[in-house]
Amino acid sequence: MDLVGKHIVLGLTGGIACYKAAEFCRALIKEGATVQVVMTEAAAQFITPVTMQALSNRPVYASQWDAREPNNMAHINLSREADAIVIAPCSADFVAKLLHGRADDLLSLMCLARPLESVPLLVAPAMNREMWAHPATQRNMAQLHADGATVFDVGSGEQACGETGDGRMLEPAELLHDVVAFFQAKVLAGKRVLISAGPTFEPMDPVRGVTNLSSGKMGFALARAAREAGADVTLVAGPVGLPSPRGVHRVDVISAQDMFEACQSQVSHADIFIACAAVADWRVDVPTQQKIKKDASGATPSFQFVENPDILASIAQSERAQSGALYCVGFAAESNDLLAHATAKRLRKNVPLLVGNLGPATFGKDDNALLLVDAQGSKEIPRQSKRALSRLLVAEIANRITQPRSF
């Protein structure tokens, strides 16, 4: 629950995307936030205040003259209580209001009266594609961003009017992700991070191969955490069935050789390389061109294996890594003697930080426990969700690239 302790004022303006605001409100609450809904008169034409009250478990505010407030200053009281004001959907008309400082209803008045230094404004635009593309709207969006508001992206696709294009409000799950990310410390702002994740698959014939039980969940969680921390993230992913984290550039690969080539092509642009993938150490030298068939003799096929390229060692030995321009982090998935194996691997790969975990205890699971090993010693991070671990690890890396640190 990433929003525990956060109080969100959710503003709704006139637009058919108000139906998404209902699910978004519920998602915020499930993530631990408290939500106070404020609606414009136009928004109430698309969804009722009763619906939003039932979902938020709070009375909905719509008028600046609301007598429920003892001082009749809802615009002051509501804004002072908020950790953020999120307007979703935000219509083209309301964007123009925000830009020019108009305050002719409760929501716009509250946005104008909010303390700029402590109550951020997050805007989720929603409008027809022509309205979105209009130069006036684009100028308004640029100025709104320059004024300090966080303007979320828009989606693209079919619109309620029957047209297709940019301008749709993001889906509730996407908005939730962006709100959660907003509250994360931007400790990697301006950094470029390359992450490998998941297993590799080494073919034996056209239908069979050698692989492992890695799900890729840790690497994908790291990609999300690095992106939340402000980094530009590229994720090189083996064959997994996971959705791409928002805002992350993804490169799909199959074999260890594919992953080696993809990482080599991307790493020259990176400041940090995190080798989280469970890469196969060996591959079949010459896979057969046809499926290997059983026969009546009971004979078993034999294969000649060759060693795969060592992705982490190769990158860690590069000139950029040796000069300190590239910070490398390795992972070790072991089955026993974790500290001994992780320590040996760190020295063998020549990386400043090695993250150890027990493969059988983590593969496919949503949680994990980590052992951090560096030149000064080791530190255990107890079992918790991979998302929480990833944020802790990102913070560790951020600290280490700004100043030397030991356990």
Given a cut of 60, whether residue 161 has pLDDT beyond it is: yes
Q: How far is residue 65's CA from residue 351's CA, in Å, rounded to a whole number?
A: 63
Pairing of strands 84-90, 121-125: parallel
Q: What is the pLDDT of residues 315-361, one digit of tens each?
A: 999 999 999 999 999 999 999 999 999 999 999 999 999 999 988 88
- Burial pattern 155-184, b for ≥16 Cβ within 10 A else e, equals beeebeeeeeebbbbbebebbbbbbbbeeb
Matching fold, domains 7-182 and 192-402: yes
Given a cut of 70, whether residue 236 has pLDDT beyond it is: yes
Candidate CATH numbers 3.40.50.1950, 1.20.1580.10, 3.50.50.60, 3.30.1330.30; the one for domain 7-182: 3.40.50.1950
Return all residues near 83 (Cβ < 8 A) that are at least 6 apart.
6, 7, 8, 119, 183
Beta bridge partners of residue 139, listed in sequence order: none
Residue found under tokens 């107890």: 382
0.75 surpassed by pTM: yes
Given a cut of 80, whether residue 403 has pLDDT beyond it is: no
Q: What is the pLDDT of residues 257-306, one digit of tens each?
A: 999 999 999 999 999 999 999 999 999 999 999 999 888 788 888 899 99
Q: Which residues are catalytic?
A: 161
Q: What is the pLDDT of residues 81-133, one digit of tens each?
A: 999 999 999 999 999 999 999 999 999 999 999 999 999 999 999 999 999 99
Given a cut of 70, whether residue 407 has pLDDT beyond it is: no
Return all residues near 123 (Cβ < 8 A) that are at least 6 apart.
86, 87, 88, 90, 95, 98, 144, 149, 150, 151, 152
Beta bridge partners of residue 374, listed in sequence order: 377
Give the residue extent of every domain in the chain. Answer: 7-182, 192-402
Percent of the chain with pLDDT strictly greater than 90? 90
Q: How far is residue 389's CA from residue 124's CA, in Å, rounded to a whole number?
A: 29
What pLDDT does residue 404 have?
Answer: 57
- Using DSSP, state whether 217 is helix, strand or coil: helix
Class of domain 192-402: alpha beta
**Within 10 A of 39 (CB to CB), how many other CB atoms are there?**
27
- Using DSSP, state whether 168 is helix, strand or coil: strand
